[in-house]
């Protein structure tokens, strides 16, 4: 049987404990095996992008996500670096090219730098991205970039200290902005800011945000507030259609940019007088799921076919044992065939997603 974790030049797999580690300088080469099997679903969609949650824990209390803060409700037995490496290796053997580390808050993990290093060392993975609330960004972004981080999204929901504190529960605006500044000193593939589109922020207007990107090479992406099982009341009060932003942008000289193959569901707008861009992620818009190219795996190794689906596929046993690559591929591929055409958010059905910290938004 083909083993799940072959190393370059290794004729037969060694017992797990004896295997060379990445720090020995050996590259993992998933494309040497199982190359022909690609992660596709019954609608012909190809999945080359993995959103990987590394923890459910978060230190912030964002109003739309974890308004009462993260509470432990089950054991914190999250995948370790070795399991994560195996998981990503398995997906890379099926055509995966991009991994986004998310959570919870990924930066609460003390071994985050080694996780980034392990993931970026896997052949076939050419983008290692992360979404963070900016915690410890200023302190560690240099290490993360040295370890292989190539793309960064920072969640910043307001451009002033008071509103930032009100939304996140933390008086960290200055620190997060310093982290953003530090990140921009690196030659990253992209630095983006995520901001959830809330009725309150719309009332403050978009002018401040466009000023923010006038001279900064940053894309601010507004995400339409999504309904989860936890936030029904908040959603009813604060959800605003992305059309409001789209209308403002059009009226103010911003034009939608041509979409690239790896762009995902965001529409980005450009303006000749602005260095940065403004983007919109509108999950309630028609056709949003048609170009879905992503899979999600929870911090405990459970693959979710859709952010707003039910249940998932447990892969953990294969990651904890010396499992075979063929078994991994067959399990993933089999599950992908039951992926639905789209989510049912418009019918107020968020599946079993309590909040986005649980699965990694
Ligand atoms: N803690 C990290 C952060 O906040 O960037 C990563 C995890 S967070 C769940 C990922 C993204 O999901 C963040 O940009 C956050 O703003 C967004 N998010 C969380 N809950 C959301 C919701 N109900 N609707 C829309 N976006 C949401
Ligand atoms: Fe934490 Fe991110 Fe959720 Fe905010 S959006 S509570 S930072 S997981």
List, as one string, the DSSP characters of 125-162: --EEEEEE--TTHHHHHHHHHHHT--EEEEE---SSHH
Is 12 part of any domain?
no
pLDDT at residue 33, as a whole number: 44
Is 149 part of any domain?
yes
Q: What is the mean pLDDT of the chain?
A: 85
Q: Which of 33-47, 139-153, 279-293 has the highest mean pLDDT?
A: 139-153
Q: What is the pLDDT of residues 317-340, one digit of tens each?
A: 999 986 688 899 999 988 888 777
Cβ of residue 105 lying under 6 Å from some atom of ligand 1: yes
* pLDDT above 70: residue 191: yes
* Residue from 179, 231, 357, 360 to probe ligand 2 pocket by mutation (most atoms less than 8 Å from CB): 357
What pairing do the DSSP bridges indicate for beta strands 313-314 and 302-304? antiparallel
Give the 3-state secondary structure of residue 102: strand
- Nearest CA, atom 12, ligand 1: 361
* pLDDT above 60: residue 145: yes
Contact 29, 123 (CB under 8 A): yes
Query: For residue 295, what are the β-bridge partners?
Result: 50
Cβ of residue 58 lying under 6 Å from some atom of ligand 1: yes
* pLDDT above 50: residue 192: yes
Q: What integer is the mean pLDDT of 138-144?
A: 98
Task: List the domain range (segments joined by +) for residue 160.
Answer: 36-347
Q: What is the pLDDT of residues 218-254, one digit of tens each?
A: 999 999 999 998 899 999 999 999 999 999 999 999 9
Return the percent helix, strand and coil in the chain, to nearest 5: 30, 20, 50
Contact 56, 105 (CB under 8 A): no
Ligand 2 mean position, distance from CA 233 (Å):
18
- Nearest CA, atom 17, ligand 1: 361
Which residues, judged by CB distance below 6 Å to any ligand atom, belong to the binding site of ligand 2?
Answer: 58, 60, 62, 65-66, 103-105, 133, 155, 357
In terms of Cβ atoms closer than 10 Å to its own Cβ (0-12, 13-18, 19+), residue 294 is middle
pLDDT at residue 260, as a whole number: 67
Q: What are phi and psi of 90, to 5 degrees?
A: -60, -45
Contact 93, 325 (CB under 8 A): yes
- Nearest CA, atom 4, ligand 1: 133
Cβ of residue 194 lying under 6 Å from some atom of ligand 1: yes
- Nearest CA, atom 13, ligand 1: 155
DSSP E strands in 184-243: the ranges are 190-197, 219-224
* pLDDT above 50: residue 2: no
Is 196 part of any domain?
yes
Is 358 part of any domain?
no
CA distance readout (Å), 117 to 27, 62, 68, 274, 336: 12, 29, 33, 34, 28
Is 111 part of any domain?
yes
CA distance readout (Å), 83 to 13, 57, 78, 101, 108: 16, 18, 9, 14, 18
- Nearest CA, atom 25, ligand 1: 225
CB atoms within 10 A of CB 314: 14
List the CATH number of the domain containing 161. 3.20.20.70
Residue with the larger pLDDT of the pair 203 and 270: 270
- Sign of dihedral through CA atoms 44, 50, 55, 59? negative
- Nearest CA, atom 4, ligand 2: 62
pTM exceeding 0.85? yes
Query: For residue 239, what are the β-bridge partners?
Result: 198
Helix (H) or strand (E) holding 89: helix 81-92
Ligand 2 mean position, distance from CA 70 (Å):
9
Contact 41, 102 (CB under 8 A): no
State how far Cα 279 lies from the chain centre. 16
Is 212 part of any domain?
yes
Cβ of residue 70 lying under 6 Å from some atom of ligand 1: no
Q: What is the pLDDT of residues 38-85, one digit of tens each?
A: 878 777 778 899 999 999 999 999 999 999 999 998 999 999 999 999
Is 54 part of any domain?
yes
* pLDDT above 50: residue 28: no
Lowest mean pLDDT among 59-73, 130-144, 150-164, 331-345: 331-345
Count of domains observed in the chain? 1
* pLDDT above 60: residue 35: no
Is 31 part of any domain?
no
């Amino acid at each position: 049987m083909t083993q799940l974790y072959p190393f370059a030049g290794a004729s037969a797999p060694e017992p797990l404990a004896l295997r060379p580690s990445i720090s020995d300088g050996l590259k993992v080469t998933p494309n040497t095996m199982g190359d022909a099997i690609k992660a596709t679903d019954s609608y012909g969609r190809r999945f080359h992008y993995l959103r990987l949650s590394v923890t459910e824990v978060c230190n912030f209390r964002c109003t739309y996500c974890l308004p009462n803060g993260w509470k432990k409700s089950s054991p914190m037995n999250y995948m370790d670096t070795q399991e994560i490496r195996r998981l990503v290796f398995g997906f890379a053997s099926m055509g995966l090219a991009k991994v986004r580390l998310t959570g919870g808050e990924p930066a609460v993990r003390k071994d985050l730098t080694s996780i980034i290093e392990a993931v970026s060392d896997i052949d076939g993975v050419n983008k290692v991205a992360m979404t963070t609330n900016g915690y410890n960004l200023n302190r560690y972004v240099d290490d993360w970039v040295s370890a292989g981080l190539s793309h960064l999204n920072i969640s910043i929901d307001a451009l002033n200290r008071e509103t930032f504190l009100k939304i996140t529960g933390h008086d960290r605006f200055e620190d997060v902005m310093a982290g953003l500044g530090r990140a921009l000193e690196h030659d990253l593939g992209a630095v983006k800011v995520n901001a959830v589109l809330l009725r309150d922020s719309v009332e403050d207007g978009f002018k401040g945000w466009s000023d923010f990107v006038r001279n900064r090479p940053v894309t601010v992406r507004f995400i339409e507030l999504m309904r989860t099982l936890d936030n029904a009341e908040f959603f009813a009060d604060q959800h605003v259609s992305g059309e409001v932003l789209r209308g403002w942008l059009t009226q103010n000289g911003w034009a939608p940019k041509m979409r690239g193959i790896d762009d995902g569901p965001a529409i980005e707008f450009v303006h000749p007088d602005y260095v940065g861009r403004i983007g919109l992620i509108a999950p309630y818009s028609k056709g949003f799921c048609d170009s879905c190219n992503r899979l999600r795996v929870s911090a405990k190794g459970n693959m979710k076919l859709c952010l707003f689906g039910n249940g998932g596929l447990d892969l953990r046993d294969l990651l904890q044992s010396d499992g075979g690559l063929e078994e991994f591929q067959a399990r993933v591929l089999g599950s992908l065939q039951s992926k639905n055409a789209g989510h049912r958010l418009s019918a107020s059905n968020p599946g079993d997603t309590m909040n986005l910290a649980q699965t990694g938004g």
